[in-house]
Structures are given as structure tokens and as C-alpha cells.
Amino acid sequence: MWLFRPFFNAKRSVILKESRYQWQEETDTIKSESLFPALKELGLSNDLAPLLWKRGVKQVEDVASFFYPALENLHDPFLLYDMEKAVERIQTAIMNNEKILVYGDYDADGITSTSLMKESLELVGANVSYFIPNRFDDGYGPNKEVYKYYMKQEQVTLIITVDNGVSGHEAIQYAQENNVDVIVTDHHELPEILPNAYAIIHPRHPQGEYPFGDLAGVGVAFKLSSALLGEIPIDALDLVAIGTIADLVSLTDENRALVKLGLDRLKETDRIGLQIMFSETKLKLAELNEETVGFTIGPRLNAIGRLGDGSPGVELLTTFDDEAAEQIVRDVEASNDERKEIVQRISGEALLMAEQESSDFNLIIKEGWHQGVLGIVASKVVQKTGRPTLIMTYDEQTGLIKGSGRSTEHLDMFQFLTQMKEKFVSFGGHHMACGLSFEKDKVESIREAIKTQLAAGEYDFSQKPALAIDENLAIDQITVKKIEQLNQLRPFGTDNPAPYFKIDPETMTSMKRLGVNQDHLKLLVRSGETDLDCIGFSFGDALEEIESGSGLSFVGQVSINEWNGQRKPQFQITDYCVNGLQIFDARGKKAQNFELSKNDICGLVFTQPFYDKFSKTMNVKLFDFEKLDSIDIYQTIAILECPPSLEVAEKMAVAYDVSRWVLLCETDFDHYLAGIPTRDDFGKFFKLIHQQSSIDVRHKLDAIISYLKIDKNKVIFMIKVFFELGFVTIEDGLMKRVENPPHRPLTESTKYQAYLKKIESEKLFICSNTGEIKQWLCSIGGNKK
């Protein structure tokens, strides 16, 4: 006997499998025709015009710079507020041989920023050292104790922050009061009150007028370097590309130029550490693009700082020592592998805890979690739950609750949490992400504050995040040539996403789960005579949904898959929905893999014994054609008991116009496989009855079965048929033959007819595949196709 467990998660929709995103299909492309002449002049296809238009390229004069950005497209660094003041102060420090400290950050943006600033200062002869704070010992941003150490022990008289500083009031104030100037270069959200630094270089400085406000930390450092050197440091563009891509800032305007030019430089980089990393990870430099940086280089640099000291990342990017670089790369690979394992474990625990959250905002806290990966975990929880999330842990060293937050597009996390910042010991970030800490006894008051603000703000988290679909494509339109044409829009990233396409395949085959943990899904879709490989990363658990559905639509992005010298188009699934009927097969042993929820699903039975059996463990309705209103609130029905006939099944299918059927279809006896008793069986039994004046069927049934050598259920069935037809009488378990019984065919018996109907029903609902059952249900006419 199998065990009932909750089937669909209580928070999961039970109607047609809806898309995770709100698909936005734009069809108006007429306005983009104004870009045709510019595309023609560049020898590019007009098919790119609507894609450019949707990405904000709406002026003819902007088309050329989009595809072929040049150094001349970069903005003047002296347009940044305080830039001239900062350069003059650095030049004074160099002339006086002052000791300069570059104070960075432990993520990829911070590491590349530090490397770039260090190299630039060395080029102009500065006496420079650098410091990457330890995430666990020093925390994020300016640290007063670190400042104090370098000021007193190293006689530093100028500190330049990169990728941090705008929230470092205390440390910066301390430095300035002790005659050490601090130049802040940062790009994070600006607080209401800026620190009392000597100079603050920020692309969105309230008193500045810089034309582009979305530079990464490394982009701001690059601007200071350009101003200081008096020319663009071309050799540093590879660092700019890495940091900009890793920090997920907008890849438009100046960032697009920096990344596109930086990727070209990265393919020819002289940095020994990167060359060794490329070799170890088997990266092909000729094919290097923003995805390579985003999924290979960036995570490895981030892993260094997440698990410990981020300084080796700077050494990796700036060293000229082959042996040192090789050792750092080995250490980086080890850190990255460790990071993956930790993330997987904590994510699993956090997601289980998130399921217990009743709020629209996840505040998840557990002792013992590694602080360095909490931001990654928060992102995964947001992706699964669709709710803003804080993932926190207890820091034994400080006695504080520390962690990271990630948000959805419906809530500006920085502004939301700023309203309760007096409860935090430290806090910083931007609209989609933050880092914070607070005292242990503040947990409940923070929970209440979050709850109060959610209620006051009237946030609608039920609204799906938007996903703009660029075009509906037939499968035969997805070709290598088409994808090569689309790749001219690279580099892709924030605000310039790779195009999203919608496909509606006719059939799907070769579905299977991939990966060590079976996390991913691979399948082949077909329309007409054209097949297309599809891959769904982290869609492994959707196999049954997709396999059981009909009328599916997929949204995703396209790429070229190269294998054994062959180049084939591939569709990477981002989202999907089921537009037709779904059949989930939980028959037999498969029932062990299904969970039945008491709230989201209704179990259907046809007889009282099965109602008694299942009603103890789940919500069950006894089928009654006269009382159909008691089940119409459900869109998922589990057929727990096999319908007694196809006629009843047809009434069921017409009455319940549902989207999802789960087949368990248990029976008290397998009528179809056993078959109906043969004429010889009936003859043998009839002969036995005539040989005996009476038979004790209550106590002697086993002896009868042994004598006749007929299955017990068949014997019981024949007794019922003979009794119904008046061939025998039964009283107190004693069966007696009727003298001169009426001449009636067996088929006159309602029991006999019901048995035949059960055979017919079991043939369909137990012995047929789900495709045949789906076809039958759809043919009834009352179900979604």
C-alpha cells in the first residue's frame, strides 16, 4: 500500500500551468523602420531594427555607435563631480611621495577596481599599496580600525576607496580629522547625507551632471585613472569589462562601449593570471564573450572574497610571476568548487524555510550558515518564491545577525529597508540588493517593521515580473544564420538582454533530466519536419509538468551549440506555460513519487469503501452526478478509484471541466487482467451447485475455490450473478439451488454487465498510456485541449 503525501505545494497554482513571468508580446514594429537606412549603410539586416528599437536605440545616429563603439564615445572623466579636485590631490601626493592606500572591496567589481587603481597609480610613480577587506573580519566598506592601522603603522596620508565609500561616514570622518584625506570612488546608492570625504566621485552625485549614472565601481575607477593619466588606459579595459559584467549594471551607453572594447582587449590580455585561468577552464579566447565573463571569470573572482581574503584576486590580475599565478588559479578553482557545494546546501535549507513563511517578504535566519554566500542564496530563494528575501545568519565573532538581501522588481529594497535603518548596525546596497547586520534581540521588531511597511505600502507581489518577448518564431526560423545575426547585438546584459522568443511546438520527445542532481531538463521539440534541441537549466523538476501537458508554449533565448564540428541551433528555456489538458500518471508504483495536497486538489471516488479509505488522508468527494457543485472550486482532480464504467467516466469528464487530472485509479480487483469468468467456469460452478443441495459459502468458500481451481474473486462474482438471476438462494451464508430456475442469459445480470463495463474502463484508465487517456478525455468535448 502506498502512502499519501501532499501533492502540489500549497502556494503553487493548480490551474493550467501558468508562466512564471508576465509575457509581454510587442507587435508594433512600424516605428523601427526609421532605422532601416542606418542598418543598410552598415550592411546589417533590417530584422535587427525592432530589437534595437525595444532596447532604446531610436535615433539613426545612435545605430553605428551601438554596433561599433569607439573610445571617442566615452564621456569626459572631468564631467564627474570632484574629479579635478581628486586628481590634483593625487598628483600632490605623488610629488610629495606620500603613501597612498587603495581601499577596495571583496567582490569581482571591487577586485578589478582595486587592480586597475593600483596599476594606474604605479604608472605615474605613486607610492601605493592596497587593501581588500575581509568579508568576515572587516565587513563591507570603510573600516575605522583598518584606517587607523594604515594611518599609524604605514603612515598612509591619502586613502582612495574603489567600489565603496559613500556609506563609510565614521571611518572617513576619523581619517579626515586626523589629516588623512579620503577620495571616494563609488557607484552604490547614495545616502541622504554624504560622508565628509576630501572628494567624492560618483556618477550620480547630487551636485554633478555626469551624463551616464550606471557605471560600475570599476568604471568609476577607470574614469579617475583616465583623468589622472591624461589618456584612456587601454590596457585596463579588460579589467573594466570583467567588473562591469560581474556587477550586472546596465549594459547601455558608456558601459556598452567599455564592455565591448574590453572584451576585445580581454581576448588579447597580457595578464598571466587570466591566461592561466583561461587555460585551466578550457576557455577559447576567440569565442570569449560576456557570458564567459559572467559565468566563468566573475564567479571565480567572487568566490575568493566570499570564502575568505579577496587579496589573491588582485594578485591574480596584476602579478607577473607565472608560478604565483598558477598557485592562485588552483586556489581559486578550489574556492569556487567549495562555494558551489556550500551554496547548494544552504539554498536547500533556506528554500524549505521559505515554504513556511506566510509573509510576502522572506526574512530567513539560521545559525551556522556561511556568510559569504548568503547573497547568492537570497537570489535563488527570490527566483523560486517570487518574494523579496533577506538571508541572515548569526555571527559569533560580533554577536550580530548578518546577511544579504535580494528583491523583485515590485519593491525597492534599499528604500524599503532605509525606513527602518535605525534598527541596523550596518546597512548598504541598491534597489535590488543589500547587505546589513543587526543585533540579535532586534529580530522580532524588524519582522514587525517589515510587516507594517508591507501593509502600509500596498505592494502587489501577486503580479508576475514582466518578460518582454521580442518575437514569436516558428521552429524552422531558428537557424544558425539567424542566431549569428542576433549575436551582432552583443554584448548582452542588463537593459540589453539577449532577445527572447516564443515557440509553440507541435510535439515534444526525448525528454530527460540532466546534471549530477538531475536539476536540468533536455528535450527535443518539433513542428512540421523541423526539430530543435531545447535545454532548461534548473527546470529538472518541471519534467512531469511538461511531459504531461499539451499545447505548451516556451519562451527562451537561442544559441549555437557546437559539438564534434557540427553547429546546431539550441533553445534555452526561460519560462513555459501549459495551454491544454494535463495528465499526471500516479498509477501503480508511480504513486510513491506523487504528493497530494489537502487544499489544492480534490480526490474523486465512486464507491463508499474507497471513500472511507481515502477520506482519512485527504480531501475526497464521492462522485454524485446530482451534486456536482461541491467540486467545482478545484482545477486539479485525482481519480483515486478507477471509474466503474466509461459512461460514468464520460459524465465525470463533462461535468468537471478541469485542466489537470491525476491518475491513481485503484481497484478492489483487477477485472481487466483477470478477465470475466469463461463459459467453462460458469459451467463447472453450475454443475457443483446441482451436485449439492446446499453449500456453505460463508465458511466453505476456500474449499469451493480449491475444488473448482478458479480465482476467488471470480467465484464470488459468479455467486452474485447466479443469485441475481434467481438460480440460487442465499440465507445465513447457506447457498441453495433453485429447482427449475428461469432460463435467463448471463448478460441479463446487472452484475455481469457492470463487470464488463469495469473491464472496459480499466482497459482505458489502468492499461492505456497517458496519451491515449488524454485523447479520450479531450474527445468528450468538455475539457481543455
What is the CATH code of the structural domain delimited by 467-582? 2.40.50.460
More confident residue, 777 or 444: 444
Count of helices and strands (H, E) across the chain: 28, 27
Give start and end residues of each alpha helix (H) in 618-711: 646-655, 671-674, 679-691, 701-708
Tens digits of residue pLDDT in 600-644: 688 899 999 999 998 887 888 888 766 655 555 677 889 999 999
Residue 110: CB atoms within 10 Å:
32
CATH of the structural domain 583-667+766-780, one choice from 3.40.50, 3.30.1180, 3.20.20, 3.40.630 = 3.40.50
Q: Can 72-334 and 357-457 be said to share one CATH topology? A: no
All cell numbers assigned to 266 = 580581454
pLDDT above 80 (res 26): no
Polymer length in residues for the chain: 785
The highest-confidence range among 160-169, 535-544, 545-554, by mean pLDDT, is 160-169
Please name the CATH architecture into which domain 672-761 falls: Orthogonal Bundle (1.10)
Alpha carbon distance 161, 383 (integer Å): 33
DSSP symbols for 470-492:
-EE--GGG--HHHHHHHGGGPSP
φ, ψ of residue 371 in degrees (nearest 5): -65, -30
Q: Where are the domains of the chain?
A: 72-334, 357-457, 467-582, 583-667+766-780, 672-761
The sign of the CA dihedral 604, 609, 615, 617 is negative
Measure CA of the first residue to CA of the last residue in the chain; give whole Å: 34
Strands in 374-460 per DSSP E:
389-395, 400-406, 426-430, 433-439
Tens digits of residue pLDDT in 32-45: 899 999 999 999 99
Q: Does domain 72-334 have CATH number 3.90.1640.30?
A: yes
- Does residue 669 sit in helix, strand or coil? coil
Strand partners, 22: 466
Instruction: Output the pTM of the full model.
Output: 0.76
Tens digits of residue pLDDT in 201-233: 999 999 999 999 999 999 999 999 999 999 999
All cell numbers assigned to 522 = 533536455
Q: pLDDT value at position 10?
A: 31
Identify whether the C-beta of residue 437 lies closer than 8 Å to the C-beta of residue 425: yes
Phi-psi category of residue 537: left, alpha or beta, with phi > 0 → left and psi -120 to 50 → alpha: beta
Alpha carbon distance 631, 624 (integer Å): 10
> Which class does domain 357-457 fall in?
alpha beta
Q: CA 458: distance to chain centroid?
A: 26
Q: How confident is the model at residue 11 (pLDDT cuts 50, 70, 90)?
A: very low
